[in-house]
A and B are shown apart, each in its own frame.
Chain A
Amino acid sequence: MDIPLIEFQDVTKRFGDRTVLDRVNLKIYEGEVTTIIGLSGGGKSVLLKHIIGLLKPDEGTILFRGKPLNGMSKKERYAALGRMSYMFQDNALFDSMTVYENIALPLQETMNLKKKEIERRVMARIEQTELIDAVHKYPSELSGGMQKRVALARALVIDPQIVLFDEPTSGQDPVRKNAILSMIAQYQRKFGFTAVLVSHEIPDVYFISNRILALYDRTIVFQGTVEELEDFEHPFKDEVIRSLEGLQEELTGLRSKRQFKVLYHANLKRSALGESYTVLVFTLEALDAVITALGYDAAQKTIHYMGLFIDKHFAPIGGFSTRISFNEFVTMLPYSDRAEAEAIVKDFIPDLQEGIRQIQEGTRRKATSGECIEFVVHAGLAQGNPLEEIDSVIESAKRQQKEIGRLQCATQE
């Protein structure tokens, strides 16, 4: 594997008699979204502050591209950390400065740019983070969500190579929370920076993370992908993940993935051998276009409403659903075979078309040159039997997906 961008080797940090990090070993790779999860007060923010150099370890070494940070000259250190941004948990915006001044500050103070160029870059970030109406306002005049977006815009304005996010979604409602996460994910894809998030928003962060680091009892107990975390057996999983995950996903109101699997197994036990069930997979396509035209909140509201429609339609007939990725939903119909399921989906389509119109009504708010906004819903179904693994049935359903609904070029007012 490649040399990690950042590596901790036996890093220990104490505050007085209290050990916060104890022989922490971790690796963060370039171009990935890495999320550090753990309970509140567990040392996640302290860990993040070591990466950017706000705190220094009492013991152990931090390596940057394989080179110890403490052995670097000032120039080397600046080259390593100079393009690193940090988004604070409480935003740390300068309250005596306007939104524009806050975002422009790192450009004005650390780069030799002309005023026009600074203005161009700042306004570009302000537009991307939907802050046009707040340009001349002070942080105290903004809502919590808007303050977060200002902090995000300020973190991204220098086109950083590494961005550290300290609980970027804390104190936000589910729609806004997921809007911020999706904003981070989209920017990460667009600009290719390495993102390190500290969060306890499970499972929301799973949808955007390439790797998960689990901080438990002052040390890192797990490093790997979301899929690998599923198979990880450790007290961390019971004490932390299960307590944070809950039974329902906040955004969609659907079952959590874990709860979905529990129900799935419970239904299998009740089923007689030879009885079949059907799995439906729905995918919301072209969400990026919704984000571009209507914003991140609108995209998250779309996901939220999609969850509501699926639950409203399938729960009364015994179905249960979950969200498996950023834009994919799975519904299990335990008592239906393929033919019955196809008939149910046929009923669902007109319902969904109406739902999409409602979504569009609910999220419509800004005109962007009257361009055509459309998004598409794909659905696929597959029949399974009690001997089959749920994951393979879901894969089979995904392969059979076809378009079942489309928002036809909604006109903007």
Chain B
Amino acid sequence: MAMRPDIQESSEEKAGWNAIRLLSWPFAQLGRSVISWINNSGAAAIFLLLAALKIFRPRQLMKITQQIYYIGARSTMIIMLVGLFTGMVLGLQSYHALVQVGAEGALGTLVALSLIRELGPVLTAIMITARAGSAITAQIGIERISEQIDALDTMHIDPLRYLISPRIAAAIISFPVLTALFDLIGILGSYISGVLIMGANAGTFFHRVQSSVEMSDVNEGFIKAIVFAVIVSTVCCYQGYFAHMRPDSHGAKAVGLSTTSAVVLSCVLILVSDYVVTSLLI
């Protein structure tokens, strides 16, 4: 009988603790996520720094060239296709909006600035993420889980130098070039829909394109392209390189999840960094 109050007390205590745990659970989860995010960000920053330092080591030129081919040259067709239709839709929509206020003459200005400052770098980065970024993560992830990266270590070949640095360098070179191509094809698409189909004046269109775009606009587009290149290549390489350390899965499943994470995270970071860079440069 003497024990009963103690038991009651301890069960009350237990219930109290359970309630506290239940209430604090969302905060605990949030805390864990924030700590994990900070951890990963720090690790990714170190990863990028180490890989970037190894870009200028010997025997890198050929590997960088190969990666430019995979990341850049082989993305050309898809970038041209997306650029063409983006430009055509932009030309069509803009013409319809401008014609209502009698300002169809500003079509060239609108599409050129939209494409060069925003749509070009962002859509190019997203398309390369979808095409080449996912492939980078999957390839490096498979190389990790099949011990190919360990094999490099045993051969005294630095995996960061051999696998990561050329990809980061190739992305930094390819993104601005593909962005420029996207811009060019996009303006051509706007010309097709706005001028050839809808009947806007061709001379006015090209005059406005030429007169409204300044070098600072082009530079802004290129700065964004380089920032996106660093983000996409680092995120995709990092996710693949550490695919074996995912806490939620192993093996092929880990590679699949890493690829998904790489694409989603890259796209989110492209849009977030786009806002940050725009607000700094505007």
Q: Which residues of A contact B (CB under 8 A)?
A: 52-54, 78, 81-82, 84-86, 88, 90, 92-96, 105-106, 108-110, 158
- Classify the interface of chain B: helix, strand, loop or mixed: helix
- Indicate if B147 sits at the interface (CB-CB under 8 A): yes
Q: Which of A78, A92, A108, A110 contacts B148 (CB 8 A)?
A: A92
What separation, in Å, do the CA atoms of A59 and B273 have in the docked complex? Answer: 45
Give 1 or 0 for each of B142-167: 1 = CB within 8 Å of chain A CB: 11001110110111110000100000
- Indicate if B261 sits at the interface (CB-CB under 8 A): no
What separation, in Å, do the CA atoms of A94 and B151 have in the docked complex? Answer: 9
Contact flag A92-B151 (CB < 8 Å), given A78-B156, A105-B157, A109-B59: yes
A-B contacts at CB below 8 angstroms, number? 46
- Indicate if B139 sits at the interface (CB-CB under 8 A): yes
Q: Which of A90, A93, A109 contacts B155 (CB 8 A)?
A: A109
- In the assembled complex, the CB of B209 is this many whole angstroms from the nearest CB of chain A, namely 43
Contact B150 A92 (CB under 8 A): yes
What separation, in Å, do the CA atoms of A188 and B143 have in the docked complex? Answer: 30
Q: Which of B147, B154, B157, B162 contacts A90 (CB 8 A)?
A: B147
Hey, which chain A residues are within 8 Å of B146, CB to CB? 90, 92, 95
Q: Which of B139, B143, B156 is most buried by chain A, counting CB atoms within 10 A of its CB?
A: B156
Q: Which of B139, B142, B150, B155 contacts A110 (CB 8 A)?
A: B155
Given A90-B146, A94-B151, A95-B146, 6 more contacts at CB 8 Å? A54-B150, A78-B156, A95-B142, A106-B157, A109-B59, A110-B155
Contact B154 A52 (CB under 8 A): yes
Hey, which chain A residues are within 8 Å of B148, CB to CB? 92-95
Interface size class for chain B? Answer: 10 to 19
- In the assembled complex, the CB of A330 is this many whole angstroms from the nearest CB of chain B, namely 41
What separation, in Å, do the CA atoms of A158 and B139 have in the docked complex? Answer: 27
28 contacts between A and B (CB under 8 A): A53-B153, A54-B154, A81-B156, A82-B156, A84-B154, A85-B154, A85-B155, A86-B151, A86-B154, A90-B146, A92-B147, A92-B150, A93-B148, A93-B151, A94-B148, A95-B142, A95-B148, A96-B139, A105-B155, A106-B156, A109-B59, A109-B155, A109-B157, A109-B162, A110-B155, A110-B156, A110-B157, A158-B155
What separation, in Å, do the CA atoms of A106 and B152 have in the docked complex? Answer: 8
Contact B150 A88 (CB under 8 A): yes
What separation, in Å, do the CA atoms of A37 and B146 have in the docked complex? Answer: 24
9 smallest CB-CB distances across A and B, nearest first, come from: A92-B151, A86-B154, A92-B147, A106-B155, A109-B157, A92-B148, A52-B154, A88-B147, A110-B156
What separation, in Å, do the CA atoms of A268 and B154 have in the docked complex? Answer: 53
- In the assembled complex, the CB of B194 is this many whole angstroms from the nearest CB of chain A, namely 45
